[in-house]
Structures are given as structure tokens and as C-alpha cells.
Amino acid sequence: MKTFKSIKSLRKYILSLKKEGDSIGFVPTMGFLHAGHIELIKKCVSENDISVVSIYVNPKQFGEGEDFSDYPRDINRDMEILENERVDILFYPENSEMYPEKQLALVDVRGLSDVLCGKRRPGHFMGVATVVLKLFNIVNPDMAYFGQKDAQQLVIIKKMVKDLNVSVRIKSIPIIRDDNGLALSSRNSYLSNNEKIIATQLSKALFKAKSMIENDNILDPLKIIDFIQERLKKTGGINIDYVEIRRLTDLSESGIIDRKDCIVAVAIYIGKVRLIDNFILGEI
């Protein structure tokens, strides 16, 4: 595996590969890799001639008081995982490389970035979209891979790519969960063993809600939201940030659940740890 910290050096190497006709697959990450990342990486490696993974904790997507400084990092462990997965290229830049001066050009996907998590974290998705576009321009991939746990992020990136005519195909994989149903996240490392047990109630509530829609034909969003909220409120240690049901295509609200175009999204706090989870009906 070749490791690059320089944008110029990576671009030069990617260009040489492109001239040879190699297809480039790309998985952008913030590191502290888990099984969800590994599924994305496996897909990338299997479907492309050359696989590229970036590890970069992007400061622009963290708000004031959020966990940028504390975000889990372990580059040696991550590099060992990437070697084992036969990744060809690691891009591991410093902040001074990605933002050598004040960033004035920002990507704002309006209408999609100010709902759900975006409403609670102002500027977050502007930071995400901006760094992802920068990475696309640096790596110049043919395909890029994202997980459905961050479904709003995925919808935003797909819209950005479409609207700005970015020449990359976006592919996604379903949420990867642990044996107890907890959606995998780097932030799960913040949880104690007891808190992880509490957190499993989130996925259990979502699984039941999905069954209510698909099997019991309950299509009133308020009934599904009320069920999830009541179930989570009965669990000690959980504070609900939001429970929302929206159209998957444009994240707009709907008076009735469309089983071919729906996302049920939840964010909670367990102590100071914010967790998100969702299920989707339709294709993303």
C-alpha cells in the first residue's frame, strides 16, 4: 500500500494510473475503522482496479463544543486494517494540506442540509460536502462508497454530484450492525458496556417500526413516530434528539408514508454521546 500526504503527489500518481486505463474506487473516512468501513472497502477493492481510502478528521464539519479534539484516532491500527484488506492507496493529509488558507469557497446543498441532523448541527453538512468535493477533485475516482447509516449525508452527496456534474458514481451499502443490532460507528467507542446495552433499544425500536409499516400497513407517520418515542422514553438513559419520517428522495415531510420513498431517522443521546440510526424504504 502506498501512502500519500501530499495532494500534488497523489494527483500525479492517480493520473499515471488513469493513463494505464485503471479504474479508481474511493472510500473517504475519518479513520478509527470498524466493520462498517471494512464492508465499504471490500466492495471498493472488489469492483475497481485501484482502491483508495482517505483518513482525514475534517475540522470543518465539527461545530463549537463538538468532539473534534476527542474524536477517536489510531492511524497505526487503521493502516494495518487497510494492508490486510489489500488497499492500494492511503491518502492521509494534514490540515495544512487540505486547508492551506482560509476556505472561502463552500458547498451548501440547500434544502437537504438544514433538516434532521443539519438542523441540530448548523454548518455540519456544508463542511461535509465541501471536504468530500475537495477529496473527489483530488482523487478523481470513478466510484465512491458510503454507508447508509449516514443516510442524510448520502442523499446530500448524491445531490451535490448530480447538480455540480461531478464525474463519479456514488455507491452505498446497508447499515452494518453488531450482534446486538447496534449500528456500528466510531463514536460507539465512547460508550461503556452498559451504555451499549441501552443503545440497542434504538435499533429494536426501529426494527419494530419497520415491521409496523411493512407488515401491519400503518402508514400514518405520527403513529410511527409516537411509537418510537414512547418506546425510547421507557428506556432509562436515553434522551431523544429527534424522531422524524421524511421522503428519501428530497428529505421533505409527507402526510403519509410512501413505502417506496421513505426514511425513518432517529438521533438520541446516551450521556454526552450522540447516536444516529435509521431505516429506509426504497432505494438510495
Confidence of residue 284 (pLDDT cuts 50, 70, 90): confident
pLDDT in tens, 133-157: 999 999 999 999 999 999 999 999 9
Q: 144 and 37, same structural domain?
A: yes
CB 36 within 8 A of CB 175: yes
Give the domain-ending residue among 173, 201, 228. 173
Q: Would residue 37 show up in a list of annotated catalytic residues for this protein?
A: yes
Partners of 281 in beta bridges:
262
Q: 199 and 169, same structural domain?
A: no
**Active-site hit among 7, 37, 41, 224:** 37
Q: 251 and 206, same structural domain?
A: yes
Predicted pLDDT of residue 171 = 97
- Residue 181 domain-assigned (yes or no): no
Provide the CATH number for the domain around residue 233: 3.30.1300.10
**Overall number of domains in the chain:** 2
C-alpha cell at 284: 438510495
Provide the CATH number for the domain around residue 167: 3.40.50.620
Degrees, nearest 5: CA angle 143-144-146: 145
pLDDT in tens, 227-243: 999 999 999 899 999 99
- Residue 125 domain-assigned (yes or no): yes
pLDDT in tens, 257-281: 999 999 999 999 999 999 999 999 9
Give the pairing type, strands 50-55 and 89-91: parallel
- Residue 101 domain-assigned (yes or no): yes
Q: 263 and 127, same structural domain?
A: no
Predicted pLDDT of residue 283 = 87
- Residue 179 domain-assigned (yes or no): no
From residue 55, alpha-carbon distances to 8, 92, 180 in Å are 17, 5, 28
Range of the domain at 234: 186-278
Degrees, nearest 5: CA angle 208-176-25: 140
Per-residue pLDDT, averaged over 41-60, amounts to 98
Q: 151 and 43, same structural domain?
A: yes
Q: 112 and 47, same structural domain?
A: yes
Q: 242 and 162, same structural domain?
A: no
Confidence of residue 254 (pLDDT cuts 50, 70, 90): confident
Helix (H, G, I), strand (E, B) or coil at 185: coil
pLDDT in tens, 186-210: 999 999 999 999 999 999 999 999 9
pTM of the model: 0.96
In the DSSP assignment, the letter for residue 264 is: E
Rounded Cα–Cα distance for residues 155 and 161 (Å)? 10
Predicted pLDDT of residue 265 = 98
Q: 134 and 77, same structural domain?
A: yes
Confidence of residue 79 (pLDDT cuts 50, 70, 90): very high
Helix (H, G, I), strand (E, B) or coil at 151: helix
Judged against a pLDDT cut of 90, whether residue 72 lies above it is answered with: yes
- Residue 180 domain-assigned (yes or no): no
- The strand ranges marked E within the chain are 2-4, 24-29, 50-55, 89-91, 143-147, 169-173, 239-246, 262-270, 273-281
C-alpha cell at 67: 468532539
Degrees, nearest 5: CA angle 61-282-232: 65
**Euclidean distance between the first and the last CA atom of the chain, given in angstroms as a whole number:** 31
